[in-house]
Chain A
Amino acid sequence: MADKFKEQAVIIRQEEISYGVYSMWLKTDQIAGKAKPGQFLSIYCREGSRLLPRPISLCEIDREDQAVRIVYRVAGKGTEELSGMRTGGSLEVVGPLGNGFPLKEKKAFLIGGGIGIPPMLQLAKELQCEKQIILGYRDSLFLQKEFKKQGKLYVATEDGSYGVEGNVLDAIRENGLDAEIIYACGPGPMLRAMKAYAKEKKIECWVSLEERMACGIGACLGCVCKSREKDSHTNVNNKRICKEGPVFRAEEVEF
């Protein structure tokens, strides 16, 4: 019983904060006390036909009140079930899982795209450095207010309805921003663009990856990614996203 816990977490509150995007605060026994930004929870469905836990990143961690916040998009039947749960209900969860982001004191870009935005919030709260938060949305926004409190906020929307029209890289260029380190979570094309940008600028870049998972704890080898170094489990070049990740040095992994 080292640092992962299986708990019945109680829903403190849940609300839809953007179209199809839900915010849920969960009361935990021990998870919140141990959790770090960039880690995730495995959330189990009540409906028995859905066997596999849903890996959902931690958006905020309230260690004092032993609560965690998740912000997720309804993407299938599991998250649909989750979105229908009410205050006072309970959820089976295992966590905190994965490695989380390293906290470095360097002028930083915190980059979130779509449903990769939520984990950047707790990271922003814990980083002690100059923070430039750059968020890319398809159209409707969420978590704006919370991010504004944590650093300089730049927004890009695909349809140009808010901020810069385009993606996070367009927002960086249009605002003439620079940094010494990048933390990023979001869709594959965005992460690949940030990896290329970091290489061009010769700066450090950390990305949070996702993959279909089964066990969530490193046993099933379902969620590997190709890595430059040998992995600790199989000693090939297959790091487990749920265990060695989900956060990796960008140049260390293929995605």
Chain B
Amino acid sequence: MNTKVKLAGVTLKNPVMTASGTFGSGAEYAEFVDLNKLGAVVTKGVANVPWEGNPTPRIAETYGGMLNAVGLQNPGIDLFVERDIPFLTKYDTKIIVNVCGRTTEDYCEVVRRLAEQPVDMLEINISCPNVEEGGIAFGQNPKSVEAITKEVKKYAKQPIIMKLSPNVTDIAEMAKAAEAGGADALSLINTITGMKIDIHRRTFALANKTGGLSGPAIHPVAVRMVYQTAQAVQIPIIGMGGISTAEDALEMILAGATAVSVGTANFHNPLVTMEIVKGIREYMEQNGVEDIGELIGGVR
């Protein structure tokens, strides 16, 4: 049985990766999970300099999901290169670094710094809803999506994955813009902007007022967007958004995703990625699927 998938020339042992921001750089989860069994680890977003992130509370649980407004707290590229990359290279898994920035120059600086590093792919976060500058500001207009994709491609030595926001009118339009800009792959979806109000304290549950909704509640939205995007572009798609089980991952793959990222579900069950890897194999066995490639985009 073959569970290997190929993403922009990079072969993953299986299609299961971690979603940026939910898994750190893997060190904390390595106490529970065998990182060697993952298709790839996608790191928390890293910027050119350290970011402090937003005030607390940053987290609020919602029905079947959660809101976060962490605000991309990260140690900056220097410490990341010194500490996090050497940690990840000890494992037999692919390393995908998520890159964030306030300006195009910030993104390009990080991409340039990573060019000589032993990382396999870069995921460019143009879809964080919790920061004032950068993030989603780049991801809600097709012209700026294409422009930033072109810019980072100038400096990138690794394949570039553009991570798209669901907070747009037409996801396919953004996907086509990224493809036109030279993106090698797409990640979708980032979180959906939401809000929760504490009726007892009569205030916002999050200090940032709004946050990004993730978890099983958003899964059908993500499946729909992956499907629409798969119809619109030729480049491979990494599907994410509320994947908690192998069944959810398989839905995403059938909708057109070549690989999947598991995020919020890690908080509910630190071992969930291992269970999803196993569940996909079981499904393939039970259904006589020789190669996982047979499933990608299997529904049309």
Contact = CB atoms under 8 A, between A and B. Distances in A.
Contacts of B56: 211-212, 222-225
A222 B28 contact: no
Contact of A237 (B44, B52, B63): B52
B64 A48 contact: yes
A52 B32 contact: no
B254 interface: no
Contacts of A125: none
A221 interface: yes
B293 interface: no
Interface in A207-221: 211-221
Interface residues of A, number: 36
A220 B64 contact: no
A143 to B, nearest CB: 26
A177 interface: no
A92 B56 CA distance: 27
B53 A213 contact: no
A50 B65 CA distance: 7
A235 interface: yes
B119 interface: no
B204 interface: no
Given A219-B24, A219-B29, A214 B66 contact: yes
Contacts of A201: none
Given A215-B266, A221-B70, A222-B68, A234 B50 contact: yes
B267 A221 contact: no
B270 interface: yes
Q: Which of A4, A52, A219 has the most CB of B within 10 A?
A: A219
Contacts of B65: 51
B68 A236 contact: no
Interface stretch (B73-81, B90-98, B229-237): B73-81
The range of chain B's interface size is 35 or more
B57 A51 contact: no
A238 interface: yes
A233 B267 CA distance: 19
Contacts of A166: none
B57 A212 contact: yes
Nearest to B57: A212
B59 A52 contact: yes
A51 B31 contact: no
A211 B57 contact: yes
Interface string A225-252: 1000000011111100001000000000
A100 to B, nearest CB: 17
A4 B73 contact: no
Nearest to B21: A220
Contacts of B58: 212, 221-224
A81 B57 CA distance: 24
Interface in B260-300: 264-271
A6 B74 CA distance: 27
B200 to A, nearest CB: 11
A52 to B, nearest CB: 5
Interface in B33-71: 44, 50-53, 56-61, 63-66, 68, 70
Which of A4, A221, A225, A236 gathers the greatest number of chain B CB atoms within 10 Å? A221
Nearest to B205: A212
A3 B31 CA distance: 8
Contact of B28 (A48, A52, A219, A238): A219
12 contacts: A4-B31, A49-B63, A50-B61, A51-B61, A211-B57, A214-B66, A214-B264, A215-B266, A220-B24, A234-B50, A234-B52, A235-B75
Interface of A: 1-4, 6, 44, 48-53, 92, 94, 211-225, 233-238, 243
